[in-house]
Amino acid sequence: MDFELKHINPKEYEGNVVLLYGNEVSDRSLPLGRKELECLKVKRAEKPDAIVVFDRLPYHIYIVNFNSEEPAPEVQEKLRRAADKVVDMLKEEKQNSVALTGEGVIAEEVVAFMEGMRLADYSFDRYKTKTQNHVLKVVVEETFLTQEELERSMRLWNHIEWCRKKVNMPVADLNAERFAKELEQRAKTLGVECTVFNKKKIEALRMGGLLGVNKGSVDEPRFVVLEYHPAEAVNKKPLALVGKGVMYDTGGLNIKPDDYMQEMKSDMAGAATMAAVLFAAAENRLPVHLVALLPMTDNRPGFNAYAADDVLTMYDGTTVEVVNTDAEGRLILADAIAYAVANYQPELLIDAATLTGAAVRAISTFGIAAMQQNAENPFNLLKIMGNQVYERIAEFPFWKEYDKLIESDVADIKNCGIAQAGTITAGKFLAHFAKQTPYIHLDIAGVAFFSKKQDYYCTGASGYGIRLLYAFLQTYEMVLN
């Protein structure tokens, strides 16, 4: 989907037009007859967020109603969801272009609608043999934003789409080695430093978690480090982004039951998310020094697969009793976190992972389960940004008592606690490796991939969390003052 800035007179425009209608100020610009305007008023009174369509064959006028007096984040989220519905209408009519304007609306509302359209128009078409319908062009009233503002937003949305494409790819076409190569190529085009550790280098580093999970796979693991270091960075020490890259998760020898293995190609969404955030920040030249650390492997039950009761020695020397081989994500993340702490001394470390089903059971698919250790101020900023962009986070307690649930009789700690507080104990396991580094854990299990259409996040990979972290980085300087 391409956007073009241009002056639009809705009363003269020949084509499909979307008019954002937030209050009665818009009346004077609506290209409607008296009876049509009366009809609109009735429908708006019945349903304040109705989308009312008027025929102007062969085109249509789409009036998107909303209440501009509501809190701004709610207004903008409703506009994103309305944009999803309009995109569906356009596709159903096989229309591939539309104009967007409105009177009495503000730039943030228009951009939110544009964002909703851009994200809603995505579909994973790689394996489709028939051409899919898409909205190819949106002409936007030029007074709402500048060309530079448009391009910055487009670059962010492009990286979200890239992430969704990667997460939707099956492991047969995107294993750890191939993903590492794609990251290396993309980093090169954006001027981002990229280091790829192959299996021999990972063995030399003694990353027992990553190597242990990989033992059952024919495909070698990879550990990718991306670094974006702008000269004008506001932070003296880097901010580390760690992402879980389990390219496919069978559960290992604790193999997943029933249909739980379906959609496990998405278990690398954390790695794709963190890469996309760093790439977007680099392309838009955000003044934040970032390092992304991405451990990658699939989890298989073949060969000499690691087993429950095994004891692994991690990168930092911690010994871990394996209780369940399906708790593999935290093992590879632990090595990456420990590596980040030892080699970069980050001022803040954030991880993102499709880590626990317990997170989904706790808060469903409405947000991210999150915890923090020694990072209260940045965590508060992250919550504020989550509310702003409507990718919200729910804070779970991180009390010391939870540490007891991962104590082991045979090793330093174990990789899985009891069923209760499963999301928290997973975070506690990772926090052990962060040591005293300010640390935030984001469990994106409920939002990274949707089996059914979820508004503008569509079906499949969502890219959820990228807008949140990007907005956080835009305002990161606030926690330094």
* Count of other CB atoms within 10 angstroms of residue 382: 26
* Tokens 């003296």, residue located: 236
Question: What is the C-alpha separation between 355 and 359, in angstroms, rounded?
Answer: 8
What tokens were used for 133?
């319908």
Closest CA to 426 of 308, 330, 314, 331: 330
What tokens were used for 63?
């009036």
What tokens were used for 410?
């045979």
User: For strand 51-56 and strand 59-65, is the pairing parallel, antiparallel, or unpaired?
Assistant: antiparallel
* Count of other CB atoms within 10 angstroms of residue 256: 15
**Which one-letter amino acid corresponds to residue 22?**
G
Catalytic entry in 56, 85, 256, 435: 256
Q: Please, are residues 268 and 296 in contact by the beta-carbon 8 Å criterion?
A: yes
* Known catalytic residue at 56: no
Q: Please, are residues 418 and 426 in contact by the beta-carbon 8 Å criterion?
A: no
Q: Please, are residues 214 and 329 in contact by the beta-carbon 8 Å criterion?
A: no
CB proximity list for 84: less than 8 A, separation 6 or greater:
116, 117, 119, 120, 455, 456
3-state SS of 415-476?
Answer: CCCCCCCHHHHHHHHHHHHHCCCCEEEEECCCCCEECCCCHHHCCEECCCCHHHHHHHHHCH
What tokens were used for 461?
């990979």
Catalytic entry in 199, 330, 414, 428: 330
CB proximity list for 151: less than 8 A, separation 6 or greater:
none
Question: What is the C-alpha separation between 403 and 388, in angstroms, rounded?
Answer: 33
- At residue 370, φ and ψ (nearest 5 deg) are -140, 150
* Known catalytic residue at 91: no
354 dihedral zone (left: phi>0; alpha: psi -120 to 50; beta): beta
Q: Is 6 helix (H, G, I), strand (E, B) or coil?
A: strand
Closest CA to 32 of 11, 14, 8: 11
Q: Is 315 helix (H, G, I), strand (E, B) or coil?
A: coil
- Residues marked active site are found at 256, 330
